Structure 1
Amino acid sequence: MRLTVAVVQQLLDQNDGFEDTTRDRQKNFTIYTRYRISDGELHIQESGNTSWADSRFSNAPRVATIEQTRRFLRPRLGSLKTDGIE
C-alpha cells in the first residue's frame, strides 16, 4: 500500500483511538514514546529517564509530521483497520 497523503488521512480517520507505545533502551537512557491517533491526527508524547535519580522527563504531546506519521503507520498496517483503502 502506497502511503500517499490521502491514504494516510483515511487510515488516521478509520483508526481513531488507536494507541501504541515503544521503548528504546540504551546504556544509561530509556525513552518511552506513546503514539495516539485522535481527531484525524497522530499525537506523539515522549517520556523517559537516565541513570541519574533526578533526570526524568515528560514532553507535552505534539502532532506528528506527515513523515513521522508514515514511519508510524507502515509497520502497523497489519494491526490497523484498512477497509476500503487501496
Structure 2
Amino acid sequence: MTEAVLRQLLEQNEGFEDETTTRQKNFQERRQYRITGGQLRYRATGKTSWADSRFDDEYVATDDQARRFLRPRLDKLNTDGL
C-alpha cells in the first residue's frame, strides 16, 4: 500500500470506527480505533496481572500500524477511486 493510497483511504473514511480485544493469561487489552483528521487514532485500555497495572492510553498510529489496520478491513472501507 503506497503512501498516496494510505492517505486517500484515511481521508475517504473519516469517522470509521472499529475495535479489537486481546485476552491472554496475564494480559487483556481493548483497542478502539477511529479515523479522524486524516489519521488513525486508537485508545488502548486494559490490565495485566499486577494489581496496579491498569492502563488507558491514546495514540496516533504510525503509517505501518495504519496499513496493518486497514488491509484486513478494505471490504468495510470506502475504496472508490483507488
Deviations 1:24-79 (A, max 9, x none): 100121011111100100002111023455432101x2211110010000000000
1:11 partner letter? L
**Which residue among 8, 19, 22 is the counterpart of 1:21?**
19
Q: Identify which of 42, 48, 53 aligns with 1:55.
A: 53
Q: Name whichever structure is richer in strand by fraction.
A: 2
- Structure 2-normalised TM-score? 0.91
- Name 1:36's counterpart in structure 2: 34
In structure 2, the residue matched to 1:66 is 63
Give the whole-Å Cα distance in 1 for the aligned partners of 2:78 and 2:14: 10
State the one-letter code of the partner of 1:43: R
Higher helix share: 2
Give aligned pairs, total. 82
CA RMSD of aligned residues (A): 1.2
2:74 maps to 1:77:
yes
Separation in 2, partners of 1:62, 1:17: 16
- C-alpha distance in structure 2 between counterparts of 1:5 and 1:71, whole Å: 13
Structure 2 spans left out of the alignment, 5+ residues:
none
TM-score by length of 1: 0.87
